[in-house]
Chains A and B, each alone.
Chain A
Amino acid sequence: MPVRIGVVVFPGSNCDRDTVHALQLAGAEPVVLWHEQASLESVAAVILPGGFAYGDYLRAGVIARFSPIMRAVAGFAGEGGLVLGICNGFQVLAEAGLVPGALLRNQSLRFAGREVAIAAERVDTAFTHALDARRPLRMPVAHGEGCFYADDATLDGLERDGQVIFRYVDSTGTNAQPGDPANPNGSLRAIAGVINTAGNVGGLMPHPERAAEAILGSDDGMGILRSLVDSASRATADPVGPAVAVR
């Protein structure tokens, strides 16, 4: 039986349908979770998809964190449940304090909609274990507020604890620091995705669900989705065991 994975729909989510489609391709059974509901319907993992939840008038993700579904998501995460935030979903997780760091306006002060390359820093996490280490993955970004920021001490800590899972890289595979055209938003230390300390909640700005089929120019995102689906299946099979490997 395919593993059930929740896709949260806030008013203003606009990647929910794409995420549902890509999860089906990855062999999961997507379950749409409406923002007003308080239950996660026993899903094995949750994705917060991209979009502009509640309009994001004030700051991306700032209202969404107060929605009923986010109380359920926070509870689920607290019990070790797998949660992945993509783009706006990452912003919501950061606002909710479920992943470290903040996503600021792009350094260019312009929306960035283009293909980037990212590389997995770790291939032993719930979201990356099906990937090859450091092989650049091509997928689109599409955001106005994607500049990953934290103070130096926090950044040092994230790196030390293995919480950085993706970084933007240039064509040679080198990390693309702020100012490098391969870094689309000025993210500090080229950080494109992080996990929490327990390793069960992750977020990234690029869109793996838009790079899940060769016809769309890249299926590099499939490895991330497959990692999640596979981790969720294992979590279902062994609900008491640790959801993920934590360094």
Chain B
Amino acid sequence: MTVADVPVEPLHRRLGVTDDELEAIRDRLGGRDPNDLELAMFSVMWSEHCSYKSSRPLLRTLPTEGRDVVAGPGENAGVIAIGEGLAVAFKIESHNHPSAIEPYQGAATGVGGILRDIFTMGARPIAVLDALRFGDPADPRTRHLVDGVVRGVGGYGNCVGVPTVGGELVFDPSYAGNPLVNVMAIGLLREEQLTLASAPGPGNLVVLYGSTTGRDGIGGASVLASATFTGDDPSKRPSIQVGDPFAEKLLIEASLELIERGLVEGLQDLGAGGITCATSETADRAGTGILVDLDAVPRREPGLEPFEVMISESQERMCAAVRPDRWPAVQEVCRRWGLPVAVIGRVTADGDITVVEGGLDANGSPAKGAREIARIPARALTSDAIVHARLATPPTHRRGAPAPGIPAAVSDRLPERGMDPGAVLLALLGSANLSSRRAVFQQYDSTVGADTVAGPGRGAAVLRVKGTRKALVATTDANQSVGAVDPWLGAALSVAEATRNVSITGARPLGVTNCLNYGDPTLPDAFWQLTEGVRGLSDACRALGLPVTGGNVSLYNESLGGRIAPTPEIGVVGLLDDISTLVGPAFVQAGDTIVLVGDSTPGLVGSAYAELAGVTSDDSPPDLDLGREEAIQSFVREAIARGLVASAQDISGGGLAIALAECSIWADLGATVRLAYFGSPAVGLFGESPSRLVVTARPAHAAALAMLARKHGLPVESIGSVGGDRLVIEATSATAMGAAEERGGRVTDTLEVPIRELRNVWEHGLGRALGWES
């Protein structure tokens, strides 16, 4: 196939370039028409995936400054200093559409791509977290996708020797036709090893090493990632990249050795947009140009067209700027790791990406008889790519603003619905979304690297930093169910939940990476969701004093089944200065006092309880007070630093009852709790209002803990104690109003379940939901 073989539709449209974009391309080329190769290069670089043409104006509003930020957005990954000359690199990225077509390779190459972003910066990858979202787990199609994605994440991550230490697995009907595969990677580097993706120094060699270039992944960025998705379309299969974790492992070791020995001036991995992207981005950042010697690119098959070579997304390739005197040493390193390596061009001073056929001469100029087949200003492909001002319109049917105070009529009282709170707890605990993720994460290697202090399954992951007393704490979170009704709140809650999960270990969140999964930006209501999501992300990060250090935007997450719920996936890395102060979420010791910090506020929309039992149409999600969120996180970090805390658990999915049940299951220690609720027992037991914690303390510390909470302006209450072999919760209405009083007395809902029973439903819930066990 050649790009010229086009029947009726003009070539640019077939490549996903609109008529007004073609006009803008002519403008960037001084008025001339692009040739077919140039058009192919533009089509990839001006795709939504590479150019962020719809989201860029929004992303500029995010806070990116921070005291310890070493590298922020625009680089391959954010980098933050952690002291003692060390820094942490981290980023999250999506691989949604490839995973929908070919789940194994889609997920595998998603892992590979994000790992390259990390080691390109000079950091050794030390952890992967994967945030996965699918439709109904009972649907055979979902089961096929889950199985493939899990095998793909494992197949790649297990082989390259980077532990998978956390993530999420969420089921929601909105993802039925469009699953989400977001992968976060974390790396550790010495600050002086920091390597940037730039190609400085005209005269330097442009070196390509790693796998050879083939036809796989042609137009992955433009065809797959940047268009609405119409299901299992075999014609798009050639767009899927194929991963080779063994090649990636060699690439990691070779790249880190090249960096450590100071052999490269700049380094960029080849992902979306292939050679076109790597050359134009590195040249643009350095203010240089690159002359590409097309014939020099090592290929895995004959007969590749120039455009195929320039935009192929063959995996496991790296592009480096190398001083000519260091070329022999670079060759030696690549040879030793068994990687093909070639000089494929020269850094120039003219600012253009120029492609020639026919080779270069000894001076690095086009050889006699060589033909220039493309010339585009590097910045026209990257920083000066088109930006679209999209229209954002809120949907016509929006929920009303919640009335202040406690709603007068609460319609979700458990006894009135004939529900037994213990049965509700067991149903939630065994549900596909709240049960143990073990059936999945035990297919991953979570301990390679010998740094995993807390792996998947119990809140945030904890990794010690060898040679120091420090630990890194990492988590991912996204709240799509609240986001579906209020995208601002969904995004702000995602940040709040993710950072809270880090703070409850005692660690200080360092920064935020995000993967914004939204719908078609050309549809005003979808673009409104994105706009609101970015605003929520921005507001929450500012309130918590956190920089956004990078991320990725995945749009067009729509399928025949509809649009996904807005899903701002948040990745957070925190730093614990002294690992001996680490606190976990599980109960520690019988006799410890259980303290509830924070307020339970009304509103069940978006909760797991609502999914099970339904809610009234006038209900809404609970509110989020970002000032309160900041206070509770500061409080818990201070309390842990002062040694007042035995365990700390955050209250999120499933509410207080689930939080207590998890603390019990993980410790194999029961608890007896008396809870005074306002309004509705369902809100008290299963409501998911944010900014709340279950903290336990030695009885001798309980008073100091409560005093500290009050100092931070937080409501605090001792609600019971740890011990026994069952979870007992007595929930009593704290008000003398409402239905209970009408019946002539206070109503107490008592929930009493043996831990054994809790554990049984919790451990097998996911396997049963997916049909892996009966």
Check A26 for interface membership: any CB of B closer than 8 A: no
Query: B residues within 8 A CB of A207?
Result: 447
- The CB with the most chain A CB atoms within 10 A, among B160, B161, B444, is that of B161
Query: Are B159 and A209 in contact, CB atoms less than 8 angstroms apart?
Result: no
Check B449 for interface membership: any CB of A closer than 8 A: yes
Check B317 for interface membership: any CB of A closer than 8 A: no
Check A97 for interface membership: any CB of B closer than 8 A: no
Query: Are B450 and A55 in contact, CB atoms less than 8 angstroms apart?
Result: no
Our count of residue pairs bridging A and B at CB distance below 8 angstroms stands at 83
| Interchain CB contact (< 8 A) of B246 among A15, A52, A110 | A52
B 182-206 contacts with A by CB, 8 A? none
Which of A123-131, A194-202, A210-218 is near enough to bind chain B?
A210-218
Check B250 for interface membership: any CB of A closer than 8 A: yes
B 606-640 contacts with A by CB, 8 A? none
Bitwise interface map of A from 5 to 23 toward B, beta carbon under 8 Å scored 1, else 0: 0000001101101100110
Given known contacts A11-B250, A142-B445, A21 and B161 CB-to-CB distance under 8 angstroms: no
Query: Are A113 and B442 in contact, CB atoms less than 8 angstroms apart?
Result: yes
| A178 CA to B489 CA, complexed, in Å | 50
| A230 CA to B445 CA, complexed, in Å | 30
Query: A residues within 8 A CB of B453?
Result: 215-217
Interface bin, chain A: 20 to 34
| Interchain CB contact (< 8 A) of B337 among A11, A17, A210 | A11
B 142-161 contacts with A by CB, 8 A? 151, 154-155, 158-161
A 95-130 contacts with B by CB, 8 A? 110-114
Check B338 for interface membership: any CB of A closer than 8 A: yes
Query: A residues within 8 A CB of B155?
Result: 111
| A27 CA to B451 CA, complexed, in Å | 19
Which single residue of chain A is at the shortest CB-CB distance from B337? A11
| Interchain CB contact (< 8 A) of A142 among B245, B246, B338, B448 | B448
| Interchain CB contact (< 8 A) of A215 among B244, B337, B449, B579 | B579
Q: How far is the CB of B251 from chain A (nearest CB, A)?
A: 11
| Interchain CB contact (< 8 A) of B445 among A12, A54, A113 | A113
Query: A residues within 8 A CB of B449?
Result: 17-18
B 447-475 contacts with A by CB, 8 A? 447-453, 464, 466
Query: Are A11 and B161 in contact, CB atoms less than 8 angstroms apart?
Result: no
Query: Are A51 and B443 in contact, CB atoms less than 8 angstroms apart?
Result: no
Check B249 for interface membership: any CB of A closer than 8 A: yes
Query: Are A112 and B249 in contact, CB atoms less than 8 angstroms apart?
Result: no
Check A89 for interface membership: any CB of B closer than 8 A: no
Given known contacts A15-B448, A18-B449, A112 and B442 CB-to-CB distance under 8 angstroms: yes
| A110 CA to B245 CA, complexed, in Å | 18
Query: B residues within 8 A CB of A193?
Result: none
Check B446 for interface membership: any CB of A closer than 8 A: yes
| A114 CA to B161 CA, complexed, in Å | 15
Add 13 more A-B contacts to A12-B246, A14-B159, A144-B158 (CB < 8 A). A12-B249, A51-B161, A113-B154, A140-B446, A142-B158, A142-B447, A210-B448, A213-B450, A215-B464, A216-B447, A216-B451, A216-B452, A216-B453
Which residues of B are at the interface with A, using a C-beta cutoff of 8 A? Answer: 151, 154-155, 158-161, 244-246, 249-250, 337-338, 441-453, 464, 466, 579
4 interchain residue pairs of minimum CB distance: A14-B161, A55-B246, A142-B445, A18-B450
Q: List 22 A-B contacts (CB under 8 A).
A: A11-B337, A12-B249, A14-B159, A14-B160, A14-B249, A18-B448, A50-B448, A51-B161, A55-B244, A57-B246, A111-B444, A112-B442, A113-B441, A113-B442, A113-B443, A113-B445, A140-B447, A142-B447, A209-B450, A216-B447, A216-B450, A217-B453
